[in-house]
Amino acid sequence: MDDGLELLTEAECRSLLASGSIGRVGVTVGALPVILPVNYAFVDGTIVFRTAEGTKLRAAVDRAVIAFEVDDYDEVLQRGWSVLAVGHASEVAGEDDLATFRALGLAPWADGTRTHYVRLVPEVLTGRRIVAV
Amino acid sequence: MDDGLELLTEAECRSLLASGSIGRVGVTVGALPVILPVNYAFVDGTIVFRTAEGTKLRAAVDRAVIAFEVDDYDEVLQRGWSVLAVGHASEVAGEDDLATFRALGLAPWADGTRTHYVRLVPEVLTGRRIVAV
């Protein structure tokens, strides 16, 4: 338990990461904390999402330590879970890797050309389950 | 427009903040970025959530600049929105204010005694709407 929340095992965290498609990236932009949603994939232990050339997000995540969070809640039953991954993000550069990630069909919902792939291998992976009392 | 996303007006951001009940707090804990979900209320332009004595979250948010994010997505229609508020957080200390916030009935879902109220008046408030293309 952690402050009234049930801690998840690492296996549960990985399973929940694999089940999601929308996550939130936490980074620092101009000394201010920012949280931005992204759609993502979790492949072979790696979180992958896309960014566009010239965006604040792209500049902020490159070689930075970032937080990545996924959660789900049932507001009626008042229960849910959250998983937090922290680690160094890096742009996918090699053609082999790019081909692999392009094959995921990780299409961003929004318009705009998100041609850059960012990868995060979690160095810290924690999760909590919330059950109403 | 902002990188393929439609920017929301400040009035839309405030309306969406008022419609939500689960948000995510982005802070720095031990030099690492962290994102933690909280349930919250948005009252008179102020975001209010609860933390417990002795927790990492409580220590991290007190007098710190934090990010607070709320979003909602329809995965089938592939559209949604996100709102990001950034500003200085502070614990609610005065008895009058505490009484006001206690009256909100902002019950945390999880067990544990979250006796501390944190307030955030957004200094930066931005929002984006995502529509699939």
pLDDT in tens, A31-83: 888 999 988 999 999 999 988 776 667 777 878 899 999 999 887 887 899 99
**Residues in A touching B124 (Cβ below 8 Å):** 32
> Which of A22, A36, A82 is opposite residue B73, by nearest beta carbon?
A22
pLDDT bracket for residue A17 (50, 70, 90): very high
Give which of B55, B84, B109, B128 to mutate to test A binding, by max A Cβ within 10 Å: B109
| Reported ipTM | 0.86
pLDDT bracket for residue A11 (50, 70, 90): very high
Count of A–B CB contacts within 8 Å? 129
pLDDT confidence of residue B133: 47
- Identify the burial level of A62 via C-beta atoms within 10 angstroms of its C-beta, where 0-12 means exposed, 13-18 middle and 19 or more buried: middle
pLDDT confidence of residue A110: 59
Domains of chain B: 6-131 (2.30.110.10)
Spatial CA neighbour of B36 closest among B18, B55, B53, B17: B55
Give which of A25, A29, A66, A109 to mutate to test B binding, by max B Cβ within 10 Å: A109
- d(Cα A132, Cα B108) in Å, to the nearest integer? 8
Strands (E), A30-123: 32-43, 46-51, 65-74, 79-91, 116-120
- d(Cα B49, Cα B39) in Å, to the nearest integer? 6
What pLDDT tens digit does each residue of chain B (133 aa) get? Answer: 566 678 999 999 999 999 998 999 999 887 888 999 988 999 999 999 988 776 667 777 878 999 999 999 887 887 899 999 999 999 887 777 777 777 776 766 565 566 788 999 999 999 999 765 4
Spatial CA neighbour of A35 closest among B60, B86, B130, B124: B86
**Cα nearest neighbour of B71 on chain A:** A37
Cβ within 8 Å, pair A33-B27: yes
Give which of B2, B3, B40, B106 to mutate to test A binding, by max A Cβ within 10 Å: B3
Could you tell me the pTM of the whole model?
0.88
> Which of A35, A55, A124 is opposite residue B35, by nearest beta carbon?
A35
Cβ within 8 Å, pair A84-B35: yes
pLDDT in tens, A86-131: 999 998 877 777 777 777 767 665 555 667 889 999 999 999 997 6
Interface of B with A in 67-126 (CB under 8 A): 67-69, 71, 73, 75, 78-80, 82, 84, 86, 108-112, 114, 124
Report yes or no: B126 and B56 within 8 Å, Cβ to Cβ. Answer: no
Cβ within 8 Å, pair A86-B33: yes
